[in-house]
Amino acid sequence: MNKKEIARFSPSAILVSLFLCIATLINSVFGLWEVKGSKKKQLLDDFSFIFGPFICATIWVLKLTFGRLSLYFLLNTVINFILAYPVTTFFENQSLYKLKKMKRHYLFLLCIFYSAMLYSYQVIIEKTFSNLFSSRDLDSHRFGDQSTEILKEKYVSE
């Protein structure tokens, strides 16, 4: 994956990661799941998952499926199902974490909600930045003719 693709999909991945961080903080109050160890270790484990494999997987899924909504939701549904059921069972058996007040189907539905939010936000980002450097912003009355041509080459061709 190149830098442009990472930069393109990172804002959405970071937004969803921040929502997961909020969920982690909410968990420390309500005890939805439990990670072995002190509160500090629990937070470190949760954050290392969020800003490690989760954020990377999110960027890859967007790269592979963005623009094909049905493929995006199909892939996310499969991944979220695997996370909520077999992976959670495996991790609980390995004593890495245990769901307490949150049931697996709620975890699955929460992941689906995050997927929908992620895709919607990425659509907004795409629309915002596709219009940011459109040719109408590069009128010659705002810049000299030579500057306009340089800006058009730099931003419109990308």
Reported as a single tens digit per residue, the pLDDT across 108-117 is 999 999 999 9
32 contacts 26 by C-beta, under 8 angstroms: yes
Determine the pLDDT at residue 96. Answer: 86
Determine the pLDDT at residue 42. Answer: 84
Tell me, yes or no, if the pTM score tops 0.85: no
What confidence category does residue 59 fall into, taking pLDDT thresholds of 50, 70 and 90?
Answer: very high
Reported as a single tens digit per residue, the pLDDT across 93-149 is 998 889 999 999 999 999 999 999 999 999 999 998 887 645 444 444 444 555 566
Determine the pLDDT at residue 135. Answer: 46
Q: What is the mean pLDDT of residues 24-49?
A: 88
How far apart, in whole angstroms, are the C-alpha atoms of residue 108 and residue 6? 26
Reported as a single tens digit per residue, the pLDDT across 28-39 is 899 999 988 888
How far apart, in whole angstroms, are the C-alpha atoms of residue 36 and residue 15? 27
Percent of the chain with pLDDT over 70: 83
65 contacts 42 by C-beta, under 8 angstroms: no
Query: Which residue in 53, 70, 58, 44 sits closest to 121, CA to CA?
Result: 58
Q: What is the mean pLDDT of residues 36-58?
A: 88
What confidence category does residue 152 fall into, taking pLDDT thresholds of 50, 70 and 90?
Answer: low
Query: Which residue in 22, 135, 10 sits closest to 143, CA to CA?
Result: 135
